[in-house]
Chains A and B, each alone.
Chain A
Amino acid sequence: MSEALIWLVAALALSSAYWLYCGVACARSAESPRSFFLADRDLPAWMFVLVATGASFPAWIVLGHAALVASGGLAFAETALCAITIPLAGVLFLKRQWMLGKRYGYVTPAEMLGDYFGGEGIRLCTVLIAVVFAVPFMGTQMRAAADLLAAVSGGAVDPILALWGVTGLVFAYTCVGGLRAAAVAGASQSLLLAAGAIMIGVLALAGGFADLAGGLGQQAGAGAPTVSAPPLGIPGVIQFVRGLGVEPPLGSPWTATMIFSYCISLMGLQLAPAFGLLAFATRSPKGFVAQQTWAAAGAAGVLLVVAITAAGLSRHGASTSDPVARLIGGLAGAAPWFVGILAVAMLAGAQVFASLNLSAASTILVRDVYRRYLDPELDVAGQRRAARITMGLLALAALLLATFAPAAERALAALALGFGLQLLPALAGLCWLRWLTREGVVVGLVAGLVAVIFTEPLGGAVAGFFGIHLPWGRWPWTLHSGAWGLGINAAACLVISLISQRAREHTRRSAFHVFLTAFAGRPRSGRALRPLAWALTLAWMFFAIGPGAIYGNSAFGDGSASAGALATGLPSLWIWQIVWWALGVLLIWFLAHRMALSTRPVRPIEPLPRSQRPRSDVAALAPGESQRWALIAIGLAGLAILANWLFD
């Protein structure tokens, strides 16, 4: 056994013991079974800052970003500016979700949206999105972490065994301690991930600038001659091609449109139900500004834009499909303990995301499906028991998918970001636009989800199952599936909302907005600053991640410079990214703090008495009818599996 492997095992054992201790200590400190779900709405601000940042930028982004920069070049590196768009979603919606949760006692975002819009469709769609995040997407994260463990151990650790081990560990401490355990463990996991990312960046730059220039030179040499764009630049604004798999774009697919739509789709990470649940569990919104401005946009941003991008651009990145594993593995001789520490740091980055989503999805499934439709009389202790069982089933499903059907898992996981983004119009209605109706939002959401499915490989597979050959592939017109979904979602939502206005429903929704307006608070000069806020946001989007990013190809020099020239200066596009990242941090600060979108409410919020709360816990259907529908759904699922097995 090599020295590095011994340190790896020791680091894994120590960290696992600590995560398990977190679970047990949280379970012992729980005041009642209710604590399991929302940690008594008492998570401190510092914990929220760490967990929210770790869950927004999990190891999947760190590992995947370096690998894709290595293969996609500086054009893909532009997507590091998701460090601004991801917290932008939080700036727009998180504080108001927290306020509604506090006021009306919501436990899950599905309850909140269901009550606000007064329907079941939105509730069930939210459940579906939470499950997609908790099963295939979580499986992908854990698989990436397990593969890294296997790679840095030099093949001594079996990736499947590592996958089951690390997922089992996440399940164990989350199952025992609930959301508080996920948050407590997540806080240290996020710090470890950040420190690990810093060190990986330092390692990437340790070879000096000549090493970095070597990697860039290799990329410059790899540029496709058919593309008119410079090899280290963005290859145009858009390409009207039918999509990957049918008519792929010429050269790199990372056009400005692709970068924009991908960065917007990544907002789905903070629009996902797990994030709303985390907001509900937070004691006060005191940490929201700090998280969004300094932790996410600032710290995570600089790590992505500089450190992780450097890891992908270095010679290590240019010569391998997994630059992070290669950089970590390179320490085996000189500092074998860092192999263990850095591998655990990357693993921790996957675990923080997995435990939060596992906890959230199980809570949502129990409260919004099992209790609502099948057992309305279920007490809190029974809900906790059901949540633990559900958590086990979700983890098992993720593991089985990742182990036995990795292709299906990847196809399903690809939907997660797009699905999360589809909640944007619903949350916009809830927090800002009272004229969006239930019909508009639900039809838009369903249409958006369908559009996401049919612009990803899964849609093609589903259509193929019925003998239909789709004329487009993945991401047609170099537009990410999330953006296709959002466009159709928003259009349907607006049109149907315009024709389905009803005074009674409008009055009911207005009660929420009256409360939000009265308590949220606005800056004194808010009305005057609003146009400026819009202008700055749109300008940032245009130049940083939109069509204006093209100017970055040559704004700071010749982007088509040869590798030799690159040794004396950074490529223009990278400087452009760094500049717009810094401006993005200022933008987030302006919106979150100056425009008071994430500051504390102007008045303390008292929870409404249970009798005055919207009726969220009344079964939508009679118990017998619910069970009949559940049996029908299970039967249909079984038939689909049988049909697939027979005809595959």
Chain B
Amino acid sequence: MVNPMSIESRFAVMTNWSLFAPFGAGFVLSGFRVADLTLGLFGFALLAAGTVSHLVINRVYGIEFSDGQIAVAAGLFLVALLGFLASWIAAPAFAPANVLLGLAGTAIVIAGAFAYVATRYGLRGAFSMFHARRPT
């Protein structure tokens, strides 16, 4: 049997993303489709709102991002980033507005992740997460 609070928090997270993920991704795609920066940024804003809402849920239930959630987020980000770079390099008709949109989205995600880690663990703690001190 699964811990009821754990399953409740998991459902809260999934309910949150069932709203923000499809509509956020939909608007980002629409932004790229019609080369409209406003539409695309609105999509990124929805995804950012979903992340903030996820943080609130984590706070309410006293939990952290699970390894699986981090893996899914990183995987999706990498796939999207690769898709954007491939389109930018390989597609001659890739509009300048789309380049700007892709760069803005990438910047939002990286800045958001950095801000989260820095505020959650402090600058030094965040650095220590990636830097293993050598034994003296």
Q: Does A144 contact B (CB under 8 A)?
A: no
Size category of the A interface is 20 to 34
A153 to B15, CA, bound (A): 26
A250 to B113, CA, bound (A): 64
What is the count of residue pairs linking A and B with beta-carbon distances less than 8 angstroms?
59
Q: Which residues on B sit within 8 Å (CB–CB) of A28?
A: 1-2
Digitize B2-37: 1 where CB-to-A-CB distance is under 8 Å, 0 elsewhere: 101001101110110011001101100110011000
Digitize A174-199: 1 where CB-to-B-CB distance is under 8 Å, 0 elsewhere: 00000000001001100110010001
Q: Which residues on B sit within 8 Å (CB–CB) of A512?
A: none
Instruction: Using known A-B contacts A22-B11, A29-B2, A188-B19, determine if residue A338 contacts B26 with beta carbons closer than 8 Å.
Output: yes
Minimum CB–CB distance for A495 against chain B, Å = 49
Q: Which residues on B sit within 8 Å (CB–CB) of A11?
A: 22
Q: Does A25 contact B (CB under 8 A)?
A: yes
| Nearest neighbor of A28 in chain B, beta-carbon distance | B2
Residues of B in contact (CB 8 Å), total 20
Minimum CB–CB distance for B96 against chain A, Å = 20
Q: Which residues on A sit within 8 Å (CB–CB) of B19?
A: 188, 191-192, 195
| A337–B18 touching, CB < 8 Å | no
- Across the interface, A188 reaches (CB within 8 A) one of B1, B18, B29, namely B18
Q: Which residues on A sit within 8 Å (CB–CB) of B11?
A: 22, 25, 47, 184, 187
- Across the interface, A341 reaches (CB within 8 A) one of B1, B2, B22, namely B22
Digitize A10-50: 1 where CB-to-B-CB distance is under 8 Å, 0 elsewhere: 01000000100010011011110000000010101011001
Digitize A111-135: 1 where CB-to-B-CB distance is under 8 Å, 0 elsewhere: 0000000000000000000000000
**B12, B14, B22 interface centre (most CB from chain A within 10 Å):** B22
Minimum CB–CB distance for B29 against chain A, Å = 6
| B15–A31 touching, CB < 8 Å | no
- Across the interface, B15 reaches (CB within 8 A) one of A25, A30, A187, namely A187
| A29–B18 touching, CB < 8 Å | no
Minimum CB–CB distance for B3 against chain A, Å = 8
| A337–B29 touching, CB < 8 Å | yes
A195 to B15, CA, bound (A): 13
- Across the interface, B26 reaches (CB within 8 A) one of A44, A47, A50, A335, namely A335
Digitize B25-68: 1 where CB-to-A-CB distance is under 8 Å, 0 elsewhere: 11001100110000000000000000000000000000000000
- A-B contacts, 20 of them at CB < 8 A, read A26-B7, A29-B7, A30-B1, A31-B1, A40-B4, A46-B12, A184-B11, A184-B15, A191-B18, A191-B19, A192-B19, A192-B22, A195-B23, A334-B33, A335-B26, A335-B29, A338-B30, A341-B22, A341-B23, A341-B26
B residues bordering A, Cβ < 8 Å?
A: 1-2, 4, 7-8, 10-12, 14-15, 18-19, 22-23, 25-26, 29-30, 33-34
A residues bordering B, Cβ < 8 Å?
A: 11, 18, 22, 25-26, 28-31, 40, 42, 44, 46-47, 50, 184, 187-188, 191-192, 195, 199, 334-335, 337-338, 341, 344
The 4 closest A-B pairs by CB, nearest first: A188-B18, A191-B19, A29-B2, A188-B15
